[in-house]
């Protein structure tokens, strides 16, 4: 099988994980790196022995680039992805795929129109722990799922925000702890349980004076199958604690704590733990970037839709944007999410116009 020739756009914090996967995998070849900061592009260029560029539009003209991987600030994902798809490149973008519903819809539509493949990174779905829990849910071993709760308590220092030109801003990051950190777990919640019926959320900024985006948030989520979801997230804690995710079924209960799943059904307990051999990234990022990148290019090469395509990548962002809107308007938000649509909990048939 011919390798897919990939250009990596964005040479910041997470980019090393992408580059390492692209050079290690049989399916891919890293052929170019791009960053608007020349020193970052040069640094990657020297390390990986590939050409450096400072304008992503230049690599879209290159016939020997088949695909691009996007690891840039959130507000740039849609513009770069749409331009790359129109230039005939396949696109794998970091989460969140974009920071507005119209941008996400435009990306999905452009992929459909051009026939190119759009994928979105949510690597934690590929974790052994997540896969094991998904399997027992799908096999019906937990019975009807009654509840799901998640706690994300991480630490983002003042310097994390002051040293970045986009973190902690509504216009560039699109939010704070919900859209950047908690989104992985929010994605797992909906992937494990199913479609959202409605949610209500509140957010605040409590521990970082230099930002006005959320550094703490909570949400009550009701899924279409009746499952009750509780979410608490902050990035004000003392360290990056392992995420906690519980799935409560009528026949059993599953916990994911960091990389480890513990599933108890009757008097049987199964534990699944993943070893740190899959990536060079930070532990709280999970160990599965390489798995998802491999799976994406296998799908591209087989002419199939990837496991997490644009539509699948959009759901968690819809939930996050709905949480922000719910908090601002102080109302529950019903799904499918339409920004600004009326909300009325008591009178769903004929809305009272709240």
Q: Which sign, positive or negative, has the C-alpha torsion 207, 209, 210, 216? A: positive
**Hey, is 216 helix, strand or coil?**
strand
Those residues with Cβ within 8 angstroms of residue 325's Cβ, 6 or more apart along the chain or in another chain: 333, 339, 340
Q: Distances from the Cα of 348 to the Cαs of 330, 332, 335, 342, in angstroms? A: 17, 11, 12, 10
**Whose Cβ is closer to ligand NAD: residue 116's or residue 156's?**
156
Distance CA 147, CA 83 (A): 41
Looking at beta carbons only, is 160 or 244 nearer to ligand NAD? 160
- The CB-of-203 to ligand NAD minimum distance in angstroms stands at 18
Nearer to ligand NAD, 28 or 76 (CB): 76
Give the nearest distance from C-beta 67 to ligand NAD in angstroms: 16
Which C-beta is closer to ligand NAD: that of 72 or that of 326? Answer: 72
Please say whether the beta carbons of 296 and 92 come within 8 A: yes
Q: Which residue's Cβ has the minimum distance to ligand NAD? A: 12
Listed residue (331, 354, 339) closest to 200, CA to CA: 331
Supply the minimum distance, in Å, between the C-beta of residue 348 and ligand NAD: 34
Given the complex with ligand NAD, which of 41 and 111 has the nearer CB atom? Answer: 41
Q: Give whichever of 93 and 227 is closer to ligand NAD, judged by the CB atom.
A: 93
Residue 5 to residues 17, 55, 301, 323, Cα–Cα distance (Å): 17, 18, 12, 38
Percentage helix, strand, coil, to 5, in the chain? 35, 25, 40
Beta bridge partners of 232: 151, 218
Q: Shortest gap between Cβ of 37 and ligand NAD (angstroms)?
A: 4
Distance CA 43, CA 259 (A): 31
Contact residues for ligand NAD (CB under 6 A)? Answer: 9-15, 34-37, 40, 56, 71-74, 76, 94-95, 121, 123, 164, 180, 285
Residue 121 or 321 having the CB closest to ligand NAD: 121
In the complex, the smallest distance separating the C-beta of residue 71 from ligand NAD, rounded to whole angstroms, is 5
Instruction: Considering only the C-alpha atoms of the chain, give the largest distance between any 2 of them, rounded to a whole number of Å.
Output: 62
Q: Which is nearer to ligand NAD, 73 or 119 (CB)?
A: 73
Shortest distance, position 141 Cβ to ligand NAD, whole Å: 29
Residue 138 beta carbon to ligand NAD: minimum distance, rounded to whole angstroms? 24
List the structure tokens of 290: 């390489």
- Rounded least distance, CB 181 to ligand NAD, Å: 9
Q: How far apart are CA 238 and CA 208, in angstroms?
A: 14
């Amino acid at each position: 099988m011919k390798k897919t020739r990939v250009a990596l756009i964005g040479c910041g914090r997470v980019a090393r994980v992408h580059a390492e996967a692209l050079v290690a995998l049989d399916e891919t070849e890293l052929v170019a790196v791009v960053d608007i900061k020349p020193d970052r592009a040069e640094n990657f260029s020297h390390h990986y022995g590939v050409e450096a560029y400072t304008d992503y539009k230049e690599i879209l003209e290159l016939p020997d680039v088949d695909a691009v991987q996007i690891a840039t600030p959130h507000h740039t994902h849609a513009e770069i992805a749409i331009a790359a798809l129109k230039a005939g490149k396949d696109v794998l973008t970091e989460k969140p795929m974009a920071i507005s519903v119209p941008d996400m819809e435009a990306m999905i539509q452009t992929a459909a129109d051009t026939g190119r493949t759009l994928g979105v990174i949510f690597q934690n779905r590929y974790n052994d722990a997540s896969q094991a829990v998904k399997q027992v849910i799908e096999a019906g071993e937990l019975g009807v799922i009654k509840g799901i709760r998640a706690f994300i308590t991480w630490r983002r220092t003042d310097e994390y925000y002051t040293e970045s030109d986009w973190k902690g801003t509504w216009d560039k990051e699109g939010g704070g702890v919900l859209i950047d950190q908690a989104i992985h777990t929010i994605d797992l919640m909906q992937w494990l349980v199913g479609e959202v019926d409605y949610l209500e959320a509140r957010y605040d900024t409590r521990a970082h004076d230099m930002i006005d985006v959320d550094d703490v948030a909570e949400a009550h989520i009701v899924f279409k199958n009746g499952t009750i979801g509780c979410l608490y997230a902050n990035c004000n804690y003392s360290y990056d604690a392992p995420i906690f995710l519980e799935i409560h079924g009528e026949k059993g209960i599953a916990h994911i704590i960091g990389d480890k799943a513990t599933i108890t059904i009757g008097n049987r307990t199964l534990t699944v733990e993943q070893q740190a051999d899959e990536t060079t990234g930070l532990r709280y990022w999970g160990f599965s970037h390489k798995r998802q990148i491999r799976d994406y290019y296998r799908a591209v090469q087989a002419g199939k839709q990837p496991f997490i395509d644009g539509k699948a990548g959009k759901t968690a962002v819809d939930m996050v944007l709905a949480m922000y809107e719910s908090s601002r308007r102080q109302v529950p938000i019903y799904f499918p999410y339409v920004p600004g649509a009326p909300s009325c909990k008591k009178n769903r048939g004929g809305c009272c116009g709240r």
